[in-house]
Amino acid sequence: MSTFALSEEHEALREAVRALADDKIAPRAADIDRAAEFPWDVYEALVKADFHAVHVPEAYGGAGGDALAAALVIEEVARACATSSLIPAVNKLGTMPLLLGASDEVKQRYLPPVARGEAMFSYALSEPEAGSDAAAMRTRAVRTEGGYLLNGVKRWITNAGVSKYYTVMAVTDQDKGADGITAFVVEDGDPGFSFGAPEHKLGIKGSPTRELYFDNCEIPESRRVGDEGEGFKIALRTLDHTRVTIAAQALGIAQGALDYALGYVKERKQFGKAIADFQGPQFMLADMAMHLEAARQLTYAAAARSERAMRGEKVPDLTFFSSACKTLASDVAMSVTTDAVQLLGGYGYVNDYPVERMMRDAKITQIYEGTNQVQRMVMARQLLKGW
């Protein structure tokens, strides 16, 4: 297979997800944004089609989709609705630490319910005083007889309150810095575990973002992910894989905006002819499509590296590629959606048309899973050390 061509299987997957998105998701996108409520009907549609967590291996009851398959699902859902694309994206983010570092016992306990659509899985790393500086976290996990006692706060947790399971990073040894962080699975309903109020956000409004509170929350040792002190390494490895999913989300948002703008400029007439006939809009469209396709190729290349790493290969440039595709795709999404609003003129600025929603949704892709400023630092460090 050519490096730059999708397999027949991947193409068929894209077509199937797009058909579902056009039929079930796109008609709901504006209402989801307006109501700021989690789209349970969309979740059920994704579960029925087995697109809600396509990355879960077959050994745990999943579809066994590779990294590119997961990216394609997220991209096509995001083309219709960015909020809805966070269902497969966050399921991958929450479960990736288990796939990378958990015992088979932990995997067998938690991955099958996600694969069956009985539970969603969120990821809890950030804190009020530990965003980009994740190693500065203050949430503590103190050993007890047979387990750990968690105390602290996590912030900016996507799908908090609708997910049943949470991968939580906590400090088990304050004297070891990043090497004293350990990962755990926390379940909704655990005594001492509660949620803050939903944040009121610029975009992705139908995906709840809330704080997690741990007040003497007792976690059995059997729910630890990996060994003590491995949490931060697992967290960084997780992000190497899941930044690709954010890039895919950004691609979908940008593609949705470009598609709508293309249709609009062909129909809208000024000075006696369609806007599409004027050179100025044509140049804008050309740049939008060119930058989007460049970001797509980089994202798919990063997805291929992610898959090779998941299969146990050494992929020294994965960190660079994952940071690069996330940065480029999210910057492109912001630019393309802004230009789409411009091409629609006054109509682009009102919520009767979808491009203003897409522009608002695009912004978060430059921020979460590491701001693009931090990603540039990561890329530079990779270059300077020669992978």
Name residue 6's beta-bridge partners: none
The b/e string for 297-315 (b: 16+ C-beta within 10 A; e otherwise) is ebbbbbbbbbbebbeeeeb
How far is Cα 102 from Cα 156, in angstroms, rounded to an integer? 24
Strands 273-274 and 269-270, how do they pair? Answer: antiparallel
How far is Cα 308 from Cα 312, in angstroms, rounded to an integer? 7
Q: What are 286's two structure tokens?
A: 């050309």
How far is Cα 218 from Cα 273, in angstroms, rounded to an integer? 68
DSSP per residue, 49-113: HT-SSTTS-GGGTS----HHHHHHHHHHHHHH-HHHHHHHHHHHHHHHHHHHH--HHHHHHHHHH
Cα 7 to Cα 30, 79, 171, 306, distances in angstroms = 33, 21, 43, 17
Query: Which residues, 6+ apart, have CB-to-CB distance to 260 below 8 Å?
Result: 340, 353, 354, 355, 358
Q: Is 44 a catalytic residue?
A: no
How far is Cα 18 from Cα 217, in angstroms, rounded to an integer? 42
Active site positions, annotated: 369
